[in-house]
Structure formats: C-alpha cells, structure tokens
Amino acid sequence: MIGIYLSGTGNTKHCVEMLVNLLDHEAQCIPLENPQITGLLENEDTIILGYPTQFSNAPMMVRDFIKKNSDIWRDKKVFCLNTMGLFSGDGTGCVARLLKKYGAVIIGGVQIKMPDSVCDSKLLKKSIEEKKAIVRAADARIKQIAEQILEDSYPQEGLSFIAHVKGLFGQRLWFYHKTIGYTDKLKISDECIGCGLCSRECPMGNIEIKNGKAVPGGQCTMCYRCISLCPQKAITLLGDTVREQ
C-alpha cells in the first residue's frame, strides 16, 4: 500500500497520512510532485489517492498526472479520498471514472470536510475554533473509515450515478471554465519581496523569480500553496485580497 496526494495547504496530506498509517503503519505517503513517484507506484498494488476538490472537480494537476502515467494504473486497486470545504458532489467519482479508463480497480471513496483553504475570499470563512472542530470531526471520520476498511468494507462516497448528477449540476457545469485546465489567473502584487518561497514550493514549478520579483506562468493548478505561504500576502487567485492564511 502507498498513499499519494496533492495537498496545497496540508488538509489532504493530513487526511491521507492518517488513513494510511491506521491501515498500515509501514506504508509510505508521498506528494504527486515527488520525482520518484512513478517508480514507487509500479511496485504497489493498493493506492490511496488524495486531492482537494475545486468546484466539484479534481485539480488539473491530478487529472494530468493520471493521464500522463496511464500505463501505471492497470489492475491497481485505488481508493479515492477527496477533501472539501463544503460540497464536492462526486469529487471522488471524477477521478475514479478517469482511472477506470486506464484499467484501475476502484475499491472505494470518501469525501472529507476540512477547513476551507481559499484565503483570498470571504467564502466559507470560519473562526479558528470552528476550524479545529472541523478537523476533530474529520479525524474521527478517518478512524471510522479505517475500521471499515480493515473489516473489508469500503465506503463508496461520491461514486454513484446520483452523486455524479449532484456534482455535475451542483457546481461543475457552472464553474467548468475554471477547472477545464491549468489557469493563468494567478496574480502577484508589488508587495512581493522576491523571497522565492512560492517558487520553491509550487508543485507545478509555475513561479519564477525574475529581477527580484516572483513571476507566475500559465500552469497554476489552484492548490493555494503559494497564496497560503506568502509572508507578504502578495499572491491572489480567485479574489484580490488575502484575508487569512
């Protein structure tokens, strides 16, 4: 077993690592941007794949990774785990359907509510105490899920036709233009001091430092890692002001 994930601000990393550790404390967990990931996946039969949902869709980086490594998935048993701020509909189903095209066996899926990571918008903002309560509830759910799986009973959240319809009409159709591919909408203000943290941490290598300033490219996967980490609050994507990190 191996856990792999895209995690911008740490929500998905936390959930995948906790679940994998409860299932097999010797199994490793690695991010999608790890350069050795394909070699490691080839030697594993069971994969826990984690990612956040964006408007009821999986991030482009996740979908792109699956397509570029299409020969890896045949006969692999995959459990999809997605994190969400409020609603994901068929967040697990988006990836499950793609994986099936390449021969993967989808053994289950779970959709876990975690604190919202969109820190340049007022959307879904909650107090620190409310966020701590969300994490505690998520941890309790993950423990229950692990117990189910150890009893060979896999949850199937987000994988049904009804979930597909909810995700499609609940969000994905209305915001499809935002998630159809990578985006070039990342904005970096004059507050940038050129520290290079965003450039080093971007999973897509989408940010360069030129003439002492950070410059974004057109390959943003909307993970919010750079926005969350920027000490100057100089980076935005969906909004214009960083309200919280």
Question: In this structure, are residues 178 and 54 in contact, taking their beta carbons and an 8 Å threshold?
Answer: yes
Q: Is 144 left (phi over 0), alpha (psi -120 to 50) or beta?
A: alpha
Q: Could you report the per-residue pLDDT of 92-144, keeping only the tens digit for each?
A: 999 999 999 999 999 999 999 999 889 898 877 888 899 999 999 999 999 99
Q: Could you report the per-residue pLDDT of 160-218, keeping only the tens digit for each?
A: 999 999 999 999 999 999 999 999 999 999 999 999 999 999 999 999 999 999 999 99
Q: Which domains, from first to last, does the chain contain? A: 2-178 (3.40.50.360), 182-236 (3.30.70.20)
| pLDDT confidence band for 76 (50 / 70 / 90) | very high
Q: What is the DSSP string of 192-241?
A: -----HHHHH-TT--EEEETTEEEE-S-B----HHHHH-TT--EESSSSS
